A and B are shown apart, each in its own frame.
Chain A
Amino acid sequence: MHAAHRDQLVGSLLLIFGAIWTAVVYLTVPAGFGDGIGPRAFPLGLGVLLVILSAMLLISGFRKNRANADMPEDSEEIDAAMTRIDLRMVGSVFVVIMVYGFLMEKVGFVIATLLIVTSTLWLVLGIRRPLVIGAMAVGLTGGCWLVFGKLLGAYLPPGTWISLF
């Protein structure tokens, strides 16, 4: 993806976000009363500011596009594009964190960590060495449980379905 196209895409997305934000703030937050400004002014002003700045980014994208029309794309810019691997990893890490949160609540920190480390190594990274997976899962879970739970006395989620510790 060329830098100009990236600026256009990012500028457009942020512009839409800024516009929606401004509209939601205007419709849902009361303006306030008395001297000074109320609770609406700051988020509203910031939304408008984001719209203006995104529009500037969008315009600079169009300008760059016109200026670079005859020039070949340089390799650095192509590298900057999101590859399929990047997107897959973004999705994977997102799912891992969400499932980790869910499991922490349902089966507690210890089982959740064991499951998450094992499945991340096996499913996300494709590692098939039982020794590495076992050592990482037991080491990380045991280490965290010992240091955070026992040594520092931090509260580790016990789990509503099963509670081991």
Chain B
Amino acid sequence: MKAETHKVARLHAMLWGIFSLGGMIAAFLLPVLIYMTAIAYPYSLWPFNGARDPSFLVTGHLLGALFIFVTIAGSLYHGIFRFQSALTEVGLLKYRRALEAVGYFIIFVGIIALAYYLVTWYLNGTIT
């Protein structure tokens, strides 16, 4: 039993490490992405005050697609991980296992979908 909890704890340590990385990503990369898609483009502000639009992030360069993947995947992981923990602190502690299961499922589906779209676009030449 002790060895088993040790393995689970080791897994949790790595999951926490990814969560921390996600926090860095959400702090440093997410603001500019939201700015580009929700302020610059809808209100025609720099850098989308000309011909380009946010889809250029995907089609313009592989780096753009990577940026979107890292930013969205990292933020999704961090957000779900932390929100699930916040829910356990407002009286839902006894549903912790269920919350974790739902949380990781959403993370998994989200990241798989994101990766699928980007890889498909890379393969069919949408991403240059």
A binds B: no
